[in-house]
Structure 1
Amino acid sequence: MSLLTASRLRRFAPLALTVALGSAAVPAAQADTTLTNASFDVARELFTALNKPFVEEWNQQHDDHLVIKQTHAGSSTQARSIIQGLNADVVTFNQTSDIDAIAHAGLIASDWQQRLPEHSSPFYSTMAFLVRKGNPKHLTSWQDLAETGVELVFPNPKTSGNGRYTYLGAWASQSALNHHNEADTEAFMRNFLGNAVVLDSGGRGATTSFIERGQGDALITFEAEARSLARQYGDKYEVVVPKVDVIAEMPVAWVDANVRKNHSEKLAKAYLNYLYTAPAQTIIADHFYRVRNPEVAKQTAGRFPDTQLLDIGDVFGSWDDILSTHFASGAKLDQLQRQ
């Protein structure tokens, strides 16, 4: 079964738990330790690869048997599910605002970003365009995506961190180009958003629309997803990383309320700290995410093109400001889509 065929099946139950690698070797009746990781939509393959060595090492060093369960959906959807009762021990998301939302609900400590290195973001990405072989529309910049006749596929910024970074990347690039002329930027964004033929609820749904349904001239998604797809499908697609882009942080945290209830705090902390280790960072880089470990970053630098990565906070302010200004009901996104 292909990656995207499996994705189609999962779309009917996006929050269903799937047992990750490591559990197959231990019958369910013997599995006396479970960790649930709630992650974002396009991270399935990454955590399948990461979980296996962690489970093997844990089982060698402990008398119990570990099973890691994964649940994947849009980052904001996952946050709402945890607030509503999803019993996840850890979250591995793609924007800090979704972890903040869980913290505001009292389930995660408010200082969660100070509990792990790099502000609790062990790796990061940026946005890229996946185009069809030969790049027939010659799409090389964010500005090209707003041209007449260009059809775009990306996730809905209302429901997806992937979609929000797409919106913010387009806005930040145009703003840098026009010396922060907001009227010009808004005009550009109206054209850019108007070219969207599909706004799926999450990143994997957008991938399905572009790859399997043949919609759009470009899929806008995380660089890691775009490069993984290009590797999987050989010469059918090309990846374009624009010269001006935004940093997409990948923050992580243990869910304090749940690890207390599940008696899994030690395990949850060990799992998240593992993501910073050189072996894990190597696996992460192999899946085309950019990593924090200096040695691994140096070894894998050739995989990533030079691009000016803008910090979201420097351009837009806090995520609270971003959400209220751009993504709240009636805010900029809604206004631009109506005009």
Structure 2
Amino acid sequence: MTLWQRPRLRINSLRSFLSLFLASTFLSLALAACGGGNQNTTNNTNNGNSTATKKQDVEITLVSFAVTKTAHEAIIPKFVEKWKQEQGQNVTFKQSYGGSGSQTRAVIDGLEADIVHLALSGDTEKIQKAGLIEPGWEKDVPNNGIVSKSVAAIITRTGNPKGIKTWSDLVTKDIKLITADPKTSGVAKWNFLALWNSVIKSGGDDAKATEFVANVYKNVPILTKDAREATDAFAKQGQGDALINYENEVLLAQQKGEKVDYVIPDVNISIDNPVAVVDKNVDKHGNREVAEAFVKYLFTPEAQQEFVKLGFRPVDETVAQSKEVTDKFPKVKTLSTIQDFGGWSEVDKKFFSDGGIFDQIQLKNKK
């Protein structure tokens, strides 16, 4: 090999090295560029997700007993507007109203209620026992779940021609009384208990209470399905001389311009109406947040004022002490609660189960 050939070898080697170096550098830059491109794509995706997390419209199904319809129709728009302003989410409500007992069975049988507002805690407990509501539901909201309440009223014909003043007057033979069937209506259960309670709180025992209530029901020409039908039978169809119904129904009728004569007996019962979220259904529908928010909203002074406007006695103490409320609702001297009867489980078993006292009274009266 000649001397001049060695430098050429080195030059070739250097050229090879430089080529490899430049290629490697170019590849590194290309990879870096690709890496930067992937990062931008991730950021864009995150930005897209941020937009996608905007809350979608949600639907709530409210199932309630008949006489609450007007109250909820006033309250729901207020909640919808408030939720839209605070959460930026549209909420629509599907509503179902009917007898509390019938509504309870409908929910158990498949009506997918997200919220139930029923005439009595016993109906809510039945839905719980069916596995749709978790135990302890009454502890998740204020006031043990009782969101509206009233007392029993005796509605008479204009001028009260029969001179009805208290429960004992309803056994007079020439008086026809209209009330709903406690087998299908929660309101009617309260009516029955108001009659029964009037004897017990006056010193009578179960035997005297049974006799008195049986004599009252002898004067009932028809048992309607729910409180609304009872009111229609009395007011629109002209049946009967007296009607037992919620005080709030009377006050609502008066607000509509109807002339209604009525009596609030001094011995009465607190008609307590619970509200609850139906756990199984809200989890299925993915709307628990809104459902729970609506239930809690019902306890606010704003919502309670709407109940008051429609004749319900408020559960919020601030509202209850207002002059509007004290002027509107007469005081009741002796006011019992469902707990005085041992709770709804005991009440249903004793009075309204198959073969219970109500069935015994009906059977006796048919003879």
Q: TM-score, normalised by structure 1?
A: 0.88
> Structure 2 counterpart of 1:306, which letter?
K
Confirm whether residue 309 of structure 1 aligns to residue 335 of structure 2. Answer: yes
Q: Supply the distance in 2 between the matched residues of 1:167 and 1:327 (Cα, whole angstroms).
A: 10
Q: Report % sequence identity.
A: 33
Indicate the residue corresponding to 2:170 in structure 1: 145
- Residues 64 and 317 (structure 1), Cα distance of their counterparts in 2 relative to 1, 3 Å cut: same
- Aligned to 1:323, which of 348, 361, 364? 348
Aligned residues: 307
Q: Supply the distance in 1 between the matched residues of 2:265 and 2:276 (Cα, whole angstroms).
A: 30
Confirm whether residue 110 of structure 1 aligns to residue 149 of structure 2. Answer: no
Q: Supply the distance in 1 between the matched residues of 2:222 and 2:255 (Cα, whole angstroms).
A: 24
- Between stretches 56-65 and 150-159, larger displacement belongs to 56-65
Contact (CA 8 Å) 1:128, 1:242: kept in 2 or not?
yes
Q: Secondary structure at the match of 1:196?
A: coil
- Aligned to 1:240, which of 263, 267, 280? 263
> Structure 2 counterpart of 1:102, which letter?
I
> Structure 1 counterpart of 2:327, which letter?
G
Indicate the residue corresponding to 1:203 in structure 2: 227
Q: CA deviation at 1:233?
A: 4.0
Q: Supply the distance in 2 between the matched residues of 1:33 and 1:47 (Cα, whole angstroms).
A: 18
Q: Supply the distance in 1 between the matched residues of 2:79 and 2:241 (Cα, whole angstroms).
A: 39
- Aligned to 1:278, which of 281, 301, 305? 301
Q: Deviations over 1:45-85 (max 9, x none)?
A: 11001111111111222333211121001111111111111
Q: What are structure 1's unaligned runs of at least 5 residues?
A: 1-30
Confirm whether residue 157 of structure 1 aligns to residue 182 of structure 2. Answer: yes
- Aligned to 1:37, which of 38, 62, 68? 62
Q: CA deviation at 1:37?
A: 0.6
Q: Secondary structure at the match of 2:254?
A: helix
Contact (CA 8 Å) 1:230, 1:239: kept in 2 or not?
no
Q: CA deviation at 1:148?
A: 1.2
Q: Supply the distance in 1 between the matched residues of 2:76 and 2:298 (Cα, whole angstroms).
A: 10
- Between stretches 256-265 and 320-329, larger displacement belongs to 320-329
Confirm whether residue 336 of structure 1 aligns to residue 361 of structure 2. Answer: yes
Q: Supply the distance in 1 between the matched residues of 2:214 and 2:258 (Cα, whole angstroms).
A: 34
Contact (CA 8 Å) 1:198, 1:209: kept in 2 or not?
no
Q: Secondary structure at the match of 1:101?
A: helix
Q: CA deviation at 1:331?
A: 1.0
Per residue, is there more helix in 1 or in 2?
A: 2
- Aligned to 1:292, which of 310, 315, 320? 315
> Structure 2 counterpart of 1:288, which letter?
G
Q: How does 1:59-208 map to 2 (within 5 A)?
A: 59-177=84-202, 179-208=203-232
Q: Deviations over 1:264-308 (max 9, x none)?
A: 110011001001111111111111111121221111121111112
The higher radius of gyration belongs to 2
Q: Deviations over 1:75-124 (max 9, x none)?
A: 11111111111111101111001000000011001111111111111221
Indicate the residue corresponding to 1:265 in structure 2: 288
Q: TM-score, normalised by structure 2?
A: 0.81
Q: CA deviation at 1:227?
A: 1.6
Q: Supply the distance in 1 between the matched residues of 2:89 and 2:253 (Cα, whole angstroms).
A: 37
